[in-house]
Chains A and B, each alone.
Chain A
Amino acid sequence: MVSDTGLRVEFHESLDDLRDDIVRLGALTVETIGKGTAAVLDRDLHAAQRLIDGDDVIDTLAISIEESCYRLLALQQPMAGDLRFIVCALRFASELERSADLMVNICKASRRIYDVTMSPTVRSLVEDMSIEAASLTRKAIDAFADADEGMAAALDDIDDRLDELQVEFVESIFASHEAERIGLRSAVQLALIGRYYERIGDHAVNMGERVTFMVTGWLPEHAAVARLEMRNRRTTPGV
């Protein structure tokens, strides 16, 4: 028979395993960002296909993490910090899996513009956006693993740089299109690629918010909920 203490030790070991799995999923996702960008810039169709096929590994790990979370919730009935940690891991798995899917979308979009030569400025911005997206994702993983509330809160501001790059990227696509170096279809595909990188940054910000919740029990959305309740109270007659 396993004692209560033994059960808790096992439970905390499971939480450590969960943290390791999230770090591994994060590392796989960050790798995907670098590999996918190289495939786009090198116009390497084989590398793009390998990345698309390799997404199954990420999906499998994300599902396995989800199942671990559900198992722990059902069997251990965690409370307070442990409960928030598991809920946070659950969200991380989904956000990371989505970020990796966006890299798959980028590779698919790059196949549609295989015969298009990107201008050096456009190429440079693709590389810059990739570096920013990978850096944000890595910072979100570090914030989770270290329960670093400060880093988590900073991610929203750090993401501004990626947003600016995406705006610059769209402008450079317009410039290429106006100079008749690329057609409208290619311009649209390129704009989508920029949008996908920008969304990866948004997922990193979401992860940061979840880390804040994990550490403090507070979410930025809570402020919005409070404002809505205040407005409803003011507009409800008799209150």
Chain B
Amino acid sequence: MTVAVVLLAIALVGALAMCVTLLRRVARAEVAVAAAVSAAEEARSVDPDDSLPRLVAALDALSLGVVVADVDEVLGFRNRSAEEILSSRDSRTIIDRAVRELLVEAVRGEPGEREIDLFGPPRRTFLIRAVPLAGASGMAVGGGSVAVIEDVTERRRTDQVRRDFVSNISHELKTPVGALGLLAETIDDETDPATVRRFTERMGVEVTRLSRTIDDLLELSRIEFADDLFIDDSPIGAIVEEVLARFRGSADLRGVELRAMGELDVVVAGDRRQITSAISNLVDNAVKYSPDGAEVTVSVTCTADAVSVTVADTGDGIPARDLDRVFERFYRVDRARSRDTGGTGLGLAIVRHIAHNHGGEVSVRSREGHGTEFTLTLPVAPKRPPLNDRSNDESEVTA
């Protein structure tokens, strides 16, 4: 009996101890849960929608570089674009210094911006803007600063093209008109028949130049409306021979030999008039810019779905920095020389539009002192571009 009582007492004490332990564990768990809930609530109050990772992901998705400096002027967060720019090994790493300087100035309350031109290659322009961040107390400063790095290369190029277009078209149209005005004024007071004849001849030259420019502008305008394409079987060999025959006279005068070679029996489905115009412009340029006694070759090559017509000359060539601009309207590599040769500055723009109308392209390769090669590539069956696709169309830039 006594033994049973002792055992029961031990069991009761053990059960009581277990209960106390359990109660303690429950209490600790409750405290832990409460702490976790409290921490979560606190975190939620700081970051209400758990949005910090999403915010970082959103900043990383930007093509703009974003760099944040804290109030102690220490650079902290960088989004992915900024990281890529600032940790690069090429010339972009130079931007780092400007970003730091602007961020430090912005932390002190002075927003600023700086544009940096990098020669690369590739040549690029970056715009860096830095502004102060508001402090916790709602003050305009005191929260550090943020800098945004933007690659403005394309924007600056477009601005330049637009500026040059306005300046060039004014020049091309106003120069002959101005000359005509002056010549007319002079003739008005002139009595010597020989002098009058000389001035009227000069007026004729200016009128021809102006008329050629207007003709080319109208041609370009017509070509821009791809809707009036007359698609037919266009034999490239016959077109090339026709073009060469047209320029043979002026080429012979300077001893320039014109040659056609390659797969001249190929036929493409395209607008024969436009294709003739494109090849004419290329051959015209090649003859004009070839030295006396040189050779201009037109070679035709063919793949399963495209035909390429390459017009090559052995002239002075085009400087590398001008190569990507020669297809702009009125763009001149050498303004004085272009006017001497009687060009309007629209020929290559016309070629590009024709290539685009046929779903093809025109490219140029050149080396100064060694000559130039223009290649017009046309699909065998034309792929008409959608009417709203004008991404390569200079008119979007210059109009």
A interface with B by C-beta (< 8 Å) = 20, 23-24, 26-28, 30-31, 34-35, 38, 41, 119-125, 127, 138, 141-142, 145, 172
Contacts and interface: CB of A to CB of B under 8 A. Distances in A.
Given A123-B319, A124-B367, A27 B119 contact: no
B89 A27 contact: yes
B397 interface: no
Given A27-B89, A27-B90, A124-B369, A35 B320 contact: no
Contacts of A124: 317, 367-370
B368 A28 contact: no
B116 to A, nearest CB: 10
Interface in B365-398: 367-370
A121 B94 contact: no
When A and B form their complex, which 7 residue pairs have the shortest distance between CB atoms, in order from nearest? A34-B119, A121-B369, A124-B368, A120-B369, A120-B368, A120-B316, A124-B369
Given A31-B118, A34-B121, A127-B368, A120 B93 contact: no
Contact of B368 (A30, A121, A138): A121
Contacts of A121: 368-370
A138 B317 CA distance: 28
A125 B97 CA distance: 34
Interface string B318-330: 0111000000000
B365 to A, nearest CB: 13
B158 interface: no
Contacts of A141: 89
Nearest to B90: A27
Interface string B117-134: 011110100000000000
A39 B91 CA distance: 18
Contacts of A28: 94
B312 to A, nearest CB: 16
Contacts of B97: 24
Nearest to A37: B119
A38 B119 contact: yes
A204 to B, nearest CB: 15
A26 B92 CA distance: 11
Contacts of B96: 24
Contacts of B123: 34
A23 B91 contact: no
Nearest to B371: A120
Given A24-B94, A123-B369, A127-B368, A142 B119 contact: no
A28 B92 CA distance: 10
Contact of B91 (A20, A30, A119, A120): A30
A26 B123 CA distance: 17
Contact of A123 (B119, B121, B368): B368
Given A121-B370, A123-B369, A142-B89, A41 B319 contact: yes
Nearest to A122: B369
Contacts of A125: 369
Nearest to A138: B90
Contacts of B119: 31, 34-35, 38
Given A34-B120, A142-B89, A127 B94 contact: no
Given A34-B121, A120-B317, A123-B319, A27 B368 contact: no
B110 to A, nearest CB: 22
Contacts of B120: 34
Nearest to B318: A120
Contacts of A145: 89
B90 A127 contact: no
A26 B367 CA distance: 28
Contacts of B91: 27, 30-31
Contacts of B319: 41, 123, 127
A23 B93 contact: yes
Contacts of B121: 34
Nearest to B123: A34
Given A27-B89, A34-B120, A138-B90, 19 more contacts: A20-B93, A24-B96, A24-B97, A27-B93, A27-B94, A28-B94, A30-B91, A31-B118, A34-B119, A35-B119, A120-B316, A120-B317, A121-B369, A123-B319, A124-B317, A124-B368, A127-B320, A138-B89, A172-B369
Contacts of B316: 120
A30 B370 CA distance: 27
